[in-house]
């Protein structure tokens, strides 16, 4: 899909092997990566990594990438499986960086994501 960001740049957002990537003039400027785990009850999707180059942040690109991620994986991602930061009982919004948590909360408030703690 193509998206014109808040600064008027034409951004191309694609899905690559279950991950989402953002490009500007053929340069990768962002990604959201997932880890998929097959279980008896179905596939569980873990949000593994989020990144947008500093020169492109605060322009709505991550939000648009998250919208495409939801189209592919649904609204209920889980945080990464490892428990190195705070243990398994820490809510997802406390696990990510400040910017990542802000993106997650924005997407929850906009109805893009479900709040799964």
What is the pLDDT at residue 87? Answer: 47
The pLDDT tens digits of the residues spanning 8-44 come to: 999 999 998 889 999 999 999 999 988 888 888 888 8
Which comes out higher in pLDDT, residue 45 or 1? Answer: 1
What is the pLDDT at residue 117? Answer: 45
3-class SS letters over 57-91: CCCCHHHHHHHHHHHHHCCCCECCCCCCCCCCCCC
The pLDDT tens digits of the residues spanning 50-108 come to: 899 999 999 999 999 999 999 988 877 776 654 444 445 555 545 567 777 788 888 88
Task: In whole angstroms, give the CA distance from residue 43 to residue 95.
Answer: 22
What is the pLDDT at residue 79? Answer: 65
Rg (CA), the chain: 14
Task: In whole angstroms, give the CA distance from residue 83 to residue 11.
Answer: 34
Task: In whole angstroms, give the CA distance from residue 1 to residue 83.
Answer: 34
């Amino acid at each position: 899909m193509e998206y014109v960001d808040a600064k008027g740049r034409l951004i191309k957002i694609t899905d690559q092997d279950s991950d989402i990537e953002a490009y500007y003039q053929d340069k990768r400027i962002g990604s959201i990566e997932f880890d998929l785990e097959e279980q008896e009850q179905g596939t569980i999707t873990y949000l593994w990594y989020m990144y947008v180059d500093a020169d492109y942040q605060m322009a709505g690109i991550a939000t648009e990438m998250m919208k495409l991620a939801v189209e592919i994986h649904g609204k209920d991602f889980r945080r990464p499986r490892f428990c190195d930061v705070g243990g398994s009982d820490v809510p997802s919004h406390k696990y990510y960086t400040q910017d990542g948590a802000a993106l997650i909360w924005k997407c929850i408030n906009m109805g893009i994501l479900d709040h799964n703690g």
